[in-house]
Structure 1
Amino acid sequence: MNEVSIIICGLLTCLAIFYVWLTVAFVSKLNQYRSTPQEKDILIDEKKNLPSASVILCLRGADPFLPKCLEALLNQNYPDYELQIVVDSDKDPAWEMVTQTVEKQAAKHVKISSLVVPRLTCSLKCSALVQAVSNLDANCEVVALVDADTVVHSNWLRQLISPLADPQVGATTGNRWFLPQGKYWGSVVRYIWNVAAVIQMHFYRIPWGGSLAIKTKVFRRTQLLKKWEQAFNEDTMLKHILQQQGLRVEFVPSIIMVNREETDLKSFIPWVQRQLLCSRLYHTSWKAIAIHGVLTTVIPTVAIALSPFMWLNGQLPAVAYFGSGLAIYVVTQILCLVILEYQVRGIVKLKGEILPSIDAATVFKVLLALPLTQMVYTFALTSAMFMQQVKWRGITYQIKGPWDIKLVEYQPYTATETSVDSIM
C-alpha cells in the first residue's frame, strides 16, 4: 500500500506544480503590462491609428449594474466608435432603462433596437449578435462585445482594441474578476472557482465575451456569423476559427474587469454549468480541461478516503505520504490564490479603481469555501459532460451537439425573472 500512497503523493505534487506553472505564466503576462508605457502617456500618439469600432451590447433583462455599464460605454475615451444595443424586446425591463440612460447622456453615437428574429437554432444572444453585426456600417473595422454586468473604465475600448494593430492578432480579450466578499456563499465559491478558471482560460486561449474585440475582416473571411446562427455560445469557438486563418487571440491584462455582483449557490451552479458546457461544445482543449477537472477531484478524494483506513491498520508511512501530498496541494493552491489576488489588485489599482480590503473574516470564509468549491465544481463538471438541456434567462434550449441547438419556445423576458444569471 506504500506504493499507492507514494503514487498519490506524486500525483498531488504534479497537480500543484501544474497550478504553479499556470500561475507563473499568468503573472508574467500581467507584469508585461506593468512594464509597458501606461495608457495616459500614449493617448495623443495613438489617436490617429485607432480603427473605427462598433461596441455591441445584447440585453435580456435589466442587470443590477446596467445603468453604470451604459454610462461607462457611452463615455469612452475613443475617437470613433458607435454603441449598438440590442434589447430582447421593447417590453423588456431593460428597454426603459436603456432609453432613459441614453436620453440623460444626450448620446448621439448609439443605436437601440429590439431583437427582430429570435432564431430557434441558437441562443438569443447569438441571434442578437448576428443581427447587430449584419447591420454594421461599411467603414467599421472592429467589433467589440461587452456584457451587461461589465462596468468598464474610460480607456477600456482603447486598451482592448490597440493590440489588434498586430497583424497576427485577430481578436483581443480580457477576463472577469469577482470579489471574495459577500453575504452569500455562492459569491465566495464563484470567486475561488473563477481564480482557477482565469489562469486556465489564459493558458488554453479561451476568449471571454464580456470584453472581446474582433477584427471585422474575420467575419468576411470566415463562417463565424453562420456558426453563431447555430451556436449556444459566441466566444469559446473563436480560438479555433482564428487558428484556421493564421491568427490568434490576445489576452489584454488591463481588461481584467472587476465584477461586484453577488450570487447564491442556487444561481451559481447553473451558471458554472453553462461555462463548462460551452467549453465542451466549442473548445479544442475540452478533453484536457475535463481530465484536469477529474484528476483534481479523484486524487485528493482517494488520499482523504484512504488515510483513516491506513491509520487504523498501522500503516503510518502511507498516512504520511497521503498527508504530505495533500498539504503540498492545498498550500500551493492557497499561495497561488494569494499571489493572483495581489497581482490583479495591482492591475486594477493602475486603472484608478478601488477595491475593498480583505479582512480576517473574509480570509476565513475563503478557506472554509475551498472544499465546497471543489464539490460544486465536481458536480458542475460531471453534469456538463452530459447536459442536453439548458435553461437560461427563462428560455429552455435543447443541446444535441455544438451546431444542433434548439430554442424550445421563445418568450419575452419578464421583470419577475431572476437577473442573477447574467448574459455571458
Structure 2
Amino acid sequence: MSQLAIYNFGFLVGLVLVQAFLVVGFVRCLLRFRRPLIADAEAPKAAVVLALRGGDPFLVDCLRGLLTQDYPCYDIHVVVDHVDDPAHRIVQDVLNSEQPDNLYLQFLTAPLETCSLKCSSVVQAIRSLDASYEFVAQIDADTIAHPTWLRELATALQDESVGAATGNRWYMPDRLSWGALVRYAWNAAAVVQMYCYRIAWGGTLAVKTKVFRETDVLDKWSHAFCEDTMLFAVLKRAGLRVAFVPSLMMVNREDCDIHGFFYWVRRQMLTARLYHPAWPAVVGHGLITTLGPVATLALACFGVVNQDNSALAWSVAGLLVYQLGVVAMMPPMEWAVRRIVRHRSEPVNWLSAWGMVKVLLAIPLTQSVYATALASALWLTRVDWRNATYDVRGSWKIRLHEYRPYQPVESEGNTLSL
C-alpha cells in the first residue's frame, strides 16, 4: 500500500504542475492588458443590450456606468421582463434623473417557450435593431462598466478573425461570508478554464452584427438556455473566434450564501454540458481534482488503521502539496487582476488578513460543493432560474413552464444576480 501512496503522491504533484502551467499562461495574458484603444474616427456604432428580470442590487450603478461611456456612437437597449418587474421602477428612476437620449426601454412582449427568458429578451432586442449598428455588446445587471468598457470591446473586434470579444468576472465581495469566499475560490479556477477553452461570458460580451446576419445564432438562441457558452462553436464553424480581452476583468462585489452558490454553479455547469465541446474535459478535470484528494485521504486512513507509517506519510505529504499548490495559484491571479482594476481607479483592498485565512479554509469546502454541483448537473433536466422553471431535454430542447412575472423572494437579499 505504501507503493500506491507513492504513486498517488506523484500523481498529485503532476496535477498541481499542470494546473500551475495553465495559471501561469492566464496570468501572463492578464499582465499584457494594456493596448492602444480604437480612435473615435474608427469606432463603429454599437448597441448595448441589457436584459432584466428582477431588481439587481447594483443595477443603478450598472446603468450609470453605461450612460458614462467614453464612446462616440452607441445606444443602450434595456429589455425589462414585465411592466410590473422591480427592475422597471429602477430603470425609470434613472431615466427620469439622467434624461439620456441614447437609452431605450422596452418590455419583453412575447416570451418564447423554447428558450430562457434572458435569451428571449436578447433576441427581441437584437431583432429590433436597424442595420446601422456594427456590433452588439451585452452586459449583465451585476456588471459595472468603467468608462472605456465599450471602447475596449470595440478595439478587440477590429481583428477580422474575431467574431466576438469577451471579458470575465472576478469577485471582490464587500462582505467576507463563507458563500462569497467559496464563490471567489471557485471562480478563480473557473476563469482559467474559460480562458483555455475560449468560453465567452455574457456579462461582458460583444458580437459583430455580421455574425447575426451570416449565421443561425439568433435561431439557436431562440431554442437555448443561455446565449454565451455556445459562441465558441458557432464562430468556429464560421471561421471566426472568440477574443478574450484581459483588461475587461469585471469586479463583482455582491455577497452570496452556500445555498445560492450551489444552484448558481450547477447552472454554470449545465450550460457547459449543453453547449461547449470541451464539456468532457471539464468533467474530467472535476473528477480528477475531486477523486485525487479523496483517494489520498482514504490512503491516509488506511495507513492509520493498519499502522502503515509510510503510506500515511506519503498520503499526508500528497494532501499538503496539493492543497498548498492550489492555494499558491491564487495570489498571482489576484495580483494580476488588481493591477487591471487599480488601473481603472477602482478599490482593490477587499481582503483582510483574516479574510486570507478564511479563503484557505474555504478551499476544501469549495471543492466539496463544486463536486456535488458538477455531479448534479450531469443529469439535470429541470432548473429554476429567477422564479422561472425550465425543462431541459437537450441542447435545443428547452421548455419554459407557464410564464409568470418576476416576484422577489424575501430571503434573496443581495444574492439576486445568482
Fold match (TM-score > 0.5)? yes
Q: Could you say which residue in structure 2 is the equivalent of 1:150?
A: 143
Q: Could you say which residue in structure 2 is the equivalent of 1:296?
A: 289
Query: What are the within-5 Å matches in structure 2 for residues 28-39 of structure 1?
Result: 28-34=28-34, 36-37=35-36
Give structure 2 stretches of 5+ with no counterpart: none
What is the aligned length? 417
Asked whether the 8 Å contact 2:176–2:355 carries over to 1, the reply is no
Asked whether the 8 Å contact 2:136–2:208 carries over to 1, the reply is yes
Asked whether the 8 Å contact 2:111–2:117 carries over to 1, the reply is yes
The 3 A distance-change label for structure 1 pair 180 and 104 is closer
1:356-388 per-position Cα deviation (integer Å, ceiling 9, x unaligned): 242221011111111111110011000010100
Indicate the percent of aligned positions where both proteins have the same amino acid.
Answer: 46
Distance 1:317 1:422 in 2: 50
Distance 1:195 1:357 in 2: 15
Q: Could you say which residue in structure 2 is the equivalent of 1:140?
A: 133
Which 10-residue stretch deviates more, 51-60 or 299-308? 299-308
Runs (4+) of structure 1 exceeding 6 A deviation are none
Asked whether the 8 Å contact 2:56–2:417 carries over to 1, the reply is no
Q: Could you say which residue in structure 2 is the equivalent of 1:312?
A: 305
Distance 1:354 1:179 in 2: 9
Local SS of the residue matching 2:205: strand
Asked whether the 8 Å contact 2:267–2:377 carries over to 1, the reply is yes
Local SS of the residue matching 1:198: helix
Asked whether the 8 Å contact 1:169–1:249 carries over to 2, the reply is yes
Deviation at 1:302, TM superposition (A): 0.8
Distance 2:392 2:152 in 1: 36
Distance 1:145 1:74 in 2: 14
Which 10-residue stretch deviates more, 113-122 or 25-34? 25-34
Distance 1:415 1:264 in 2: 17
Query: Letter of the aligned partner of 1:29 in structure 2?
Result: C
Distance 1:88 1:419 in 2: 20
Question: Which residue of 406, 409, 412 corresponds with 1:413?
Answer: 406
Question: What is the TM-score with the length of structure 1 in the denominator?
Answer: 0.95
1:257-299 per-position Cα deviation (integer Å, ceiling 9, x unaligned): 1001111111111111100100000000000000100111111
Give structure 1 stretches of 5+ with no counterpart: none
Local SS of the residue matching 1:61: coil
Q: Could you say which residue in structure 2 is the equivalent of 1:63?
A: 56
Question: What is the TM-score with the length of structure 2 in the denominator?
Answer: 0.97
Distance 1:112 1:181 in 2: 31
Q: Could you say which residue in structure 2 is the equivalent of 1:326?
A: 319
Asked whether the 8 Å contact 1:54–1:142 carries over to 2, the reply is yes
The 3 A distance-change label for structure 1 pair 28 and 227 is same
Is 1:118 the counterpart of 2:111? The answer is: yes
Asked whether the 8 Å contact 1:181–1:362 carries over to 2, the reply is no
Query: What are the within-5 Å matches in structure 2 for residues 9-28 of structure 1?
Result: 9-28=9-28
Query: What are the within-5 Å matches in structure 2 for residues 3-402 of structure 1?
Result: 3-34=3-34, 36-37=35-36, 46-179=39-172, 182-402=175-395
Deviation at 1:6, TM superposition (A): 2.2
Query: Letter of the aligned partner of 1:350 in structure 2?
Result: H
Distance 2:407 2:316 in 1: 52
Deviation at 1:324, TM superposition (A): 2.4
Which 10-residue stretch deviates more, 228-237 or 350-359? 350-359
Deviation at 1:32, TM superposition (A): 1.7
Deviation at 1:404, TM superposition (A): 0.3
